[in-house]
Amino acid sequence: MNYGPLLFLGILLTLASSWFGLVLMPNKQLGNLDVHTDTNTLAVYPQARNGEAQQGEEHYRSLGCIYCHSQQVRTEGYGSDIARGWGRRRSVSRDYIYNKTVMLGTMRTGPDLTNIGERQPDYGWQYKHLYNPQITSAGSVMPPYAFLFETVKIGAHGPNTNALVLPPEFSVEKGYEVVPSIKARQLVEYLRSLKSSVDVPEAEIKKEEAK
């Protein structure tokens, strides 16, 4: 009973089915999705990120932020994503067409970041939170990213404009200040670019919630 060829064929056919169904078909349906142009304002959505924010996306990937933060808002009534303010509307495929690596995420050890740019636009908050999350969010289990900052001696011209304003219990040695490195600045630019504030035809922001 040498049914090797039959077995071989069956093995290939079964996987071929989902390869067509779950790989090629989605690519056919979504792979050419393009920007949406508002007919009234002619505003184009989404926009590609600027260079700083794009660099920041690379740090987001490299530091593995995805293992605790998702970037997808589920629809109203399914989970409490919108009620928590993680987004004004559910996420749609179009939101991601300019992402180099799509990091939807599968864990919410930390909050969803789809709309973090609107929720926390303040540079100071973002830097302090990255430097040591306990400063802004006591009890957080997020690791400190102090290695993205430099502790330098305060120069003759006084403190750096970017220097972190740290509360006393977190302050560094007198005469020194903590300044964000280029990586930290790029990462924060990326985080500030994450916004879910534009209407798209497939998922409109509820009018009473929109400003």
The residues pairing with 151 across neighbouring beta strands, listed in sequence order, are 178
Q: Using the minimum distance from each CB to another protein, give the nearer residue, 32 or 40.
A: 32
Is 76 in contact with 91 (CB distance < 8 Å)? no
Angle at 60 between CA 58 and CA 65, to 5 degrees: 150
Is 117 a binding residue for another protein by CB under 8 A? The answer is no
For another protein, the binding residues in 126-165 under the rule CB under 8 A are 133, 137-147
Is 42 a binding residue for another protein by CB under 8 A? The answer is no
Is 181 a binding residue for another protein by CB under 8 A? The answer is no
Residue 200 Cβ vs another protein, minimum distance, rounded to whole Å: 11
Rule CB under 8 A: choose which of 109, 121, 122, 170 binds another protein: 109
Is 179 in contact with 160 (CB distance < 8 Å)? yes
The residues pairing with 203 across neighbouring beta strands, listed in sequence order, are 200
b/e map 160-176, b = 16+ CB within 10 Å = eeebbebeeeeeeeeee
For another protein, the binding residues in 53-72 under the rule CB under 8 A are 60-68, 70, 72
What is residue 3's three-state secondary structure? Answer: coil
Rule CB under 8 A: choose which of 56, 88, 91, 187 binds another protein: 91
Taking the C-alpha atoms of residue 38 and residue 194, their distance in angstroms, rounded to an integer, is: 20
Rule CB under 8 A: choose which of 55, 56, 88, 94 binds another protein: 94
Is 162 in contact with 201 (CB distance < 8 Å)? no
- Number of residues in contact with another protein, rule: CB under 8 A? 83
Residue 106 Cβ vs another protein, minimum distance, rounded to whole Å: 6
From 8-16, 152-160, 163-171, 184-192, give the range in contact with another protein by CB under 8 A: 8-16
From 82-90, 116-124, 165-173, 186-194, give the range in contact with another protein by CB under 8 A: 82-90
- The sign of the dihedral angle between the CA atoms of 81, 86, 88, 92 is negative
